[in-house]
Structure 1
Amino acid sequence: MKNIGLFLCSVTGFFIILGCLFYNSLLIDMDKMKDYVTESNLILEEYVKNKEKVDSAKGEYISRLLTIKRGMESANTSFLFDKYKVIKISSIELLIETISEENKNDKEEYLKLVFKSDNESQDELDKLMNKNFIQVTYLSLKTYISVE
C-alpha cells in the first residue's frame, strides 16, 4: 500500500511539472512576441483614431509594419505558438493592405478583416492558455497581448 501511494504521488508530481513546463514555454513565447504585438496594436490604434495622419506618412507606417512582420517571422518560438503567430502575421499583412489601399470601401473591408484576424488570434491565445486556468490563478497574460 505504501508503494502505491508513493507511485501515485510521483505520477501526480510528474503531471504538475509537465503542466508547469507547458505554461512556462507559452510564457517565454509570449514574451518574445509581446513587443511586436504591442507595436502593431499601437499602429492599428493610431490608424483607427487618426486615419489622415497615417495616410500622410503611409511609407513610414508600412515600413514599421514590415519590420514587425519580419521580426515575428524570425522569432524563435515553440510549435505550440505557431498557429497564433501565423494568424498575427496575417493580421499585420492585412493592416499593411489597409494602409496602402487607396479606395475607402476597400480600406473599411480590410480593417474589418484586421479586427477579425485579431479576434481569432486572441481566441487562439485563450485556447492555448486555457482561460479557466488564468481566471482561477489570476495569471493575467492577456494584458500585453490584447488589442483592446
Structure 2
Amino acid sequence: MAVPDLLLKTLDHHLLEDDFNKFKWYLGNGGEFKAIPRSSLENAKRINTVTKMIETYGEETAVKIAVDVLQKMGNNNAAQKLKNSYAAGGNTAAPSTSAAAPPAAPVAPPAAPASIMAQQGAIVFAPNVASSTTGTWNINFTK
C-alpha cells in the first residue's frame, strides 16, 4: 500500500474528530520536527492533511512523524499498526529528501544472549522483554 494511503487509512480508521483535531494541533506546533502552518491545517480534512504532511516532510518522514504524534496522543495501537504496515510494504516510495527531520537511527543488532542467576531462595527480577519486530523469544526458568 502506498504511503499516502497508509496515512489516510490511519487517520480515517483510528481518529475520531476530536483526536484528529489534536493530531493537527501537534503538526502545527512542531517540536522535534518542522511545524506545518496552522492556517494550512485549520479546516483541513484528513486527505488534505495527508497531502500537506507529504509535501512538507516527504513520505518516509511523514510516517515517522505520524507515528510519533500518535504515540504522544496515547494512541499506541494506531501508531504500532501504522509502523507495522509501513515496514511490511508501505515504504514503496523513494526516501524523503526533505531536511525537516534527521534520518532515523540505524537498527541495532540483536543483543547477545543473557543469563540471570540467583542463589537458592533469592528473588530474580527479570527484565521486560519488548520488540517492535515479530520473532521468537526463548525464556527458560530452571530450578
Q: Normalising by structure 2, report the TM-score.
A: 0.27
More helix by share: 1
Q: Normalising by structure 1, report the TM-score.
A: 0.27
